[in-house]
Amino acid sequence: METNRRVFLKVAGLATLGFMVTKPALDVFARGQFGEASVGEALDPPHEVGTTTKWGMAVNLTACSEKDGCTACTDACHDYHNVPDIDNKEEEIKWIWTAPYEKVFPEHGNEFIEDDLRGSEVMVLCNHCEHPPCIKVCPTRATWKREDGIVMMDFHRCIGCRYCMAGCPYGARSFNWKDPRPFIKETNPDFPTRTRGVVEKCNFCAKRLSKGLQPACVEACPEKALTFGNLLDDHSELREILATHTIVRRLPELGTEPNVYYYKAD
Amino acid sequence: MYDAGKIISGIIIFFILVSFPIWISAASGTIGDVPELNLPADEEQCVEDAEWMRANHMDLLIDWRETVVREGVRVYTASDGKEYNMSLTDTCLDCHSPKAEFCDQCHDYVAAVPNCWSCHVDPGGS
């Protein structure tokens, strides 16, 4: 082929274009931009080796069920975090609430055993799982596992796709279908509200923990049925309870490994 | 030249319409208005240099937000060594309240609409 100016310019132009397109594309792969959320990643959440804290909670089923109808923990939590009170099953927002024993522990449904608990209401909240399915599916990393074990929400990044709600087997997440502000009776100026279009859930009182306070629900329970503490501290009250009681966790067969534990009083 | 009159008057009308924003504000005396900032009376200085804050407060706030929410660190050490709690409402608005007389003054002027206040609670009213 004869190389005249016209052909030369065409080839040079195409080569430049090709370089412009492939270089950034290659860079993306080289930098591992898809890295964090990629499939086939090790199952372990990003737990830094050497971290000395892993928050967990134990719920005393007996003590809690004795106060039928008590809502102290829910009230304390929802007041502190400006959780709206929407009286509608489809749009309600919950961080900590009660559910029937049979629903919380469907595998304990056998006749005659656990008769004392059947029919009672059980406290449920986000389990801050060891292997949280919700963070795997979040496309913006708006929810992730902190080094201290808390499954956090970054409301600034939440785009409201609700994949995490589909991912959570415990129904621990709620979606703001409408502006929550009109449904908050008294706004706590210390904690931001949320807006329409974001998902929310319990954060183990991350803000209170940063001030050295116990979670609001733990503090409010009149029966002292909730024990919060550091699972990595051998001498914590929480570890003491786990060591001396028969413990159950929700839906153990899923392998999510909840960090919220349930036990019966002695 | 055909239709010179129509073309010229068309051009004149066009320029009157295009310059509408300029002469309307000249007529109403708002030309050259600058935001009136109500600076804190009992405070001398901002978290960082005021000049720097004017240009970079949005980046600083995003930085605070990331550090608090994602890293769990809540204390900011300013370049002069002073420590601040990294909080939009507890810190910025502690000095700059009500925000309507400070933040909003500028933002209305430049038509910036930060969505922060749909969640963060302005202690000086909504």
From A207, which residue of chain B is nearest by alpha-carbon distance?
B72
Out of B65, B89, B121, the one facing A156 most closely (by C-beta) is B65
Largest CA distance in chain B: 75
- Looking at chain A, which runs of residues are DSSP E strands? 55-60, 96-100, 121-125, 143-145, 151-153, 174-175, 199-200, 226-230, 247-248, 260-263
Beta-carbon count within 10 A of A222 CB: 10
Which residue's structure tokens are 């970079």? B56
Residue spans per domain, chain B? 46-118
* A170 touches A250 (CB < 8 A): yes
Amino acid letter, residue B36: E
Query: What is the sign, positive or negative, of the torsion defined by CA atoms of A123, A252, A130, A90?
Result: negative
The predicted pLDDT at position A47 comes to: 37
Beta-carbon count within 10 A of A206 CB: 18
Averaged pLDDT, B46-58: 94
A123 forms beta bridges with A98
If one counts the domains in chain A, the total is 1
Helix, strand or coil for residue A183?
A: helix
Averaged pLDDT, B80-99: 92
Q: Which chain A residues have a beta carbon less than 8 Å from that of B99?
A: none
Looking at mean pLDDT, say which of A61-75, A109-123, A236-250 comes out highest: A236-250
Which range (A105-114, A194-203, B75-84) has the least confidence? A105-114
How far, in Å, CA of A251 to CA of A258, rounded?
A: 9
How far, in Å, CA of A37 to CA of A94, rounded?
A: 28
From B62, which residue of chain A is nearest by alpha-carbon distance?
A156
Out of A144, A154, A155, the one facing B119 most closely (by C-beta) is A155
Q: Has the ipTM of the complex gone over 0.85?
A: no
Q: Is there a domain that residue A4 lies in?
A: no
Residue B65, min C-alpha distance to chain A (Å): 9
Cβ distance A156 to B121 less than 8 Å, yes or no, reads no
Q: Which two tokens stand for residue B66?
A: 């990331």
Residue A155, min C-alpha distance to chain B (Å): 9
Q: Which chain A residues have a beta carbon less than 8 Å from that of B119?
A: 155, 192-195
- Looking at A94-225, which runs of residues are DSSP E strands? 96-100, 121-125, 143-145, 151-153, 174-175, 199-200
Q: Which uninterrupted H or E stretch holds A241?
A: helix A237-244
Interface of B with A (CB under 8 A): 65, 69-70, 72, 74, 89-90, 115, 118-121, 123
Q: Which uninterrupted H or E stretch holds B75?
A: strand B75-77
Task: Name residues whose C-beta falls within 8 Å of residue A238's C-beta, 6 or more positions apart in sequence.
Answer: A56, A57, A58, A227, A228, A229, A230, A231
Cβ distance B69 to A152 less than 8 Å, yes or no, reads yes
Averaged pLDDT, B50-77: 94
Which residue's structure tokens are 């999510």? A256
The predicted pLDDT at position B126 comes to: 46
**pLDDT tens column, B20-42:** 888 877 777 666 677 888 888 88
Task: Name residues whose C-beta falls within 8 Å of residue B72's C-beta, 6 or more positions apart in sequence.
Answer: A146, A148, A206, A210
How far, in Å, CA of A204 to CA of A153, rounded?
A: 11
Q: Which chain B residues have a beta carbon less than 8 Å from that of A187?
A: 121
Say if strands B75-77 and B83-85 run parallel, antiparallel, or are unpaired: antiparallel
Residue A261 CA, chain-centre distance (Å), reads 15
The domain that holds A147 is classified in CATH as 3.30.70.20
Say if strands A121-125 and A260-263 run parallel, antiparallel, or are unpaired: unpaired
Give yes or no for residue A107 having a pLDDT over 90: no
Q: Which chain A residues have a beta carbon less than 8 Å from that of B120?
A: 192
Q: Which two tokens stand for residue A250?
A: 């929700």
Q: Is there a domain that residue A164 lies in?
A: yes
Cβ distance A154 to B69 less than 8 Å, yes or no, reads yes
Residue A184, min C-alpha distance to chain B (Å): 12
Q: Is there a domain that residue A221 lies in?
A: yes
Of A230, A250, A229, the residue nearest A168 (C-alpha):
A250
Give yes or no for residue B122 having a pLDDT over 80: yes
DSSP A48: P
Beta-carbon pairs below 8 A across chains A and B? 33
Which residue's structure tokens are 């898809």? A34
Q: Is there a domain that residue A171 lies in?
A: yes
Of A265, A201, A266, A260, the residue nearest A231 (C-alpha):
A260
Give yes or no for residue A38 having a pLDDT over 50: no
Q: Which chain A residues have a beta carbon less than 8 Å from that of B64?
A: none
Q: Is there a domain that residue A21 lies in?
A: no
Domain of A73, in residue numbers: 31-263
The predicted pLDDT at position B1 comes to: 67
